[in-house]
């Protein structure tokens, strides 16, 4: 498999695809597949944050920890601290149900994760518009 270039544009496109999948699943599937939707939300936020790192010339680490990625983004854009609590919530609801078959994710919690991912996207679009403008 070819390695994707570490460009903000590539991270943005991957993140948008994940958000589109989450929205599509939430709006069309019944019963609502809550854990996969939360997973795609987590993946989208992860890729948005890695895109920020790429904007500033960093090679994003191969991690999936949103709070940690947010801390790394804060080094370049301190305002990212504002989304740190949302990153923690998304991580909590997206990983636990996926790996523990005894725990299910309610539709209410999934909708919260989806809303938080969209809030993060909107925040980053306002704060770091170059991630969304297709710059490479």
Instruction: Dump pLDDT digits (tens) for 53-64.
Output: 999 999 999 999
Strand ranges for the chain from DSSP E: none
Alpha-carbon distance 2 to 76, whole Å? Answer: 29
For the whole model, what pTM was predicted?
A: 0.91
Alpha-carbon distance 47 to 133, whole Å? Answer: 15
Q: What pLDDT is recorded for position 107?
A: 94
Q: Which residues of the chain have pLDDT under 50?
A: 1-2, 135-136
Q: What pLDDT is recorded for position 133?
A: 78
Q: What pLDDT is recorded for position 98?
A: 55
Q: What pLDDT is recorded for position 1?
A: 41
Domains in the chain, start-ordered, CATH in brackets? 8-129 (1.20.120.330)
């Amino acid at each position: 498999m070819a390695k994707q270039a570490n460009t903000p544009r590539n991270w943005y496109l991957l993140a948008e695809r994940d958000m589109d999948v989450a929205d599509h699943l939430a709006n069309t599937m019944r019963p609502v597949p809550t854990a996969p939707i939360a997973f795609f939300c987590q993946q989208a936020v992860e890729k948005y944050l890695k895109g920020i790192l790429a904007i500033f010339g960093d090679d994003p680490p191969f991690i999936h920890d949103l709070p940690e990625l947010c801390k790394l983004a804060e080094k370049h854009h301190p305002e990212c601290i504002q989304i740190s609590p949302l990153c923690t919530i998304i991580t909590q609801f997206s990983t636990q149900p996926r790996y523990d078959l005894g725990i299910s994710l309610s539709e209410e919690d999934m909708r919260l994760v989806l809303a938080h991912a969209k809030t993060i996207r909107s925040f980053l679009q306002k704060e770091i518009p170059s991630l969304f403008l297709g710059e490479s």
